[in-house]
């Protein structure tokens, strides 16, 4: 299948893990980041763009069939940083895609859009967002933009609430939220190719028996993860033991799905938050 796919945030670790499979499937990748990508392979083209620069983002979108939007601030930060990369930047990306008539967008949302739910509650995609951070708010905003652009402008969008993309889960929490890169590629393909896609929110998680999430929305789209977190339980538990050896566990982080993101700056009523 010959298509041209734009990947933003192309210097990031997640992009590096999924580029080979996407290149093999689609033939042409446009890679965009604020800094040059220095390991371009055959079939890859670099178009530099800062997300706050609308014209540069529009130039990156020119002539592409679909976008996998991984770019932006990747963790918690002050509001001005979040605004520039994840609010203004996301808005620029969607408006540029509309201007260039890009048909599909796969948005890298995050589990932190719902990180204030308790770990003992399985959360689907129909429940309201409960961000655990300014970063999580920005991901909820991105999901809302996808809804607007699908409903109002006819774009086809898939927001993937990513857990943790890695070759194996590194600790106990990640046994619940882990996403193997190959399974993430499968979700990207659904976003790029599914004929009936309008606008959907799914969880980016592999076959995790301890998952915090009901991923029925993804399964209805044909998602069938190939990788099981429990196959890596021993190494995850060893990683957890190393963490535990450094000191007692944070009660807030252990109670809420967002972990450290939820615990950072927390001054609320944990019982009320966890049981809401």
The confidence score (pLDDT) of residue 23 equals 97
Q: What is the pLDDT of residues 90-122, one digit of tens each?
A: 999 999 999 999 999 999 999 999 999 999 999
CB distance 7 to 31 below 8 Å:
yes
| Burial of 268 per CB tally in 10 Å (0-12, 13-18, 19+) | exposed
Which residue numbers are catalytic? 135
> Is residue 7 within 8 Å of residue 22, measured between CB atoms?
yes
Q: Mean pLDDT in the chain?
A: 97
What number is the average pLDDT over the span 14-27?
97
Q: Does domain 3-275 bear CATH number 3.40.50.720? A: yes
Alpha carbon of residue 203 to chain centroid = 9
Per-residue model confidence (pLDDT) at position 208: 98
Contact 252, 270 (CB under 8 A): yes
Alpha-carbon dihedral 157, 98, 193, 211, rounded to 10 degrees: -20
Residues 180, 163: Cα–Cα separation, whole Å: 10
The pLDDT score that the predictor gives to residue 1 is 67
Q: Is residue 143 predicted with pLDDT exceeding 70? A: yes
For residue 2, pLDDT over 80 is answered with no
Closest CA to 2 of 28, 20, 22, 21: 28
Q: Quick one: 113 exposed, middle or buried, by C-beta within 10 A (0-12, 13-18, 19+)?
A: buried
d(CA 132, CA 259): 9
CA distances from 143 to 50, 140, 220 (A): 21, 5, 19
Domain ranges of the chain: 3-275
pLDDT in tens, 213-271: 999 999 999 999 999 999 999 999 999 999 999 999 999 999 999 999 999 999 999 99
User: Per residue in 52-73, pLDDT tens?
Assistant: 999 999 999 999 999 999 999 9
């Amino acid at each position: 299948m010959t298509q041209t796919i734009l990947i933003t945030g192309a210097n990031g670790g997640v992009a590096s893990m999924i580029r080979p499979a996407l290149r093999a499937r689609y033939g042409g990748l446009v890679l965009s980041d604020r800094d040059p990508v220095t390991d371009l392979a055959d079939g890859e083209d670099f178009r530099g763009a800062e997300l706050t620069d609308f014209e540069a983002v529009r130039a990156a979108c020119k002539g592409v069939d679909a976008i996998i939007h991984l770019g932006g601030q990747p963790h918690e930060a002050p509001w001005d940083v979040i605004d520039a990369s994840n609010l203004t930047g996301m808005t620029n990306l969607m408006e540029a895609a509309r201007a260039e008539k890009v048909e599909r967008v796969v948005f890298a949302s995050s589990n932190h859009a719902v990180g204030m739910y308790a770990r003992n509650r399985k959360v689907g995609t129909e429940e309201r967002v409960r961000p655990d951070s300014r970063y999580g708010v920005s991901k909820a905003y991105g999901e809302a933009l996808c809804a607007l652009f699908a409903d109002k402008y006819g774009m086809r969008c898939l927001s993937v609430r990513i857990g943790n993309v890695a070759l194996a889960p590194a600790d106990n929490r990640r046994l619940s939220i882990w996403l193997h890169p190959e399974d993430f590629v499968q979700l990207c393909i659904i976003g790029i190719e599914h004929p009936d896609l309008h606008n959907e929110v799914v969880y980016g998680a592999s076959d995790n028996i301890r998952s915090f999430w009901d991923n029925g929305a993804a399964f209805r789209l044909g998602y069938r993860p190939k990788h099981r977190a429990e196959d890596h339980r021993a190494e995850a538990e060893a990683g957890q033991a190393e963490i535990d050896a450094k000191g007692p566990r944070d009660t807030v982080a252990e109670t809420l799905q967002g972990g450290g993101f939820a615990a950072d700056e927390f001054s609320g009523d944990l019982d009320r938050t966890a049981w809401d």
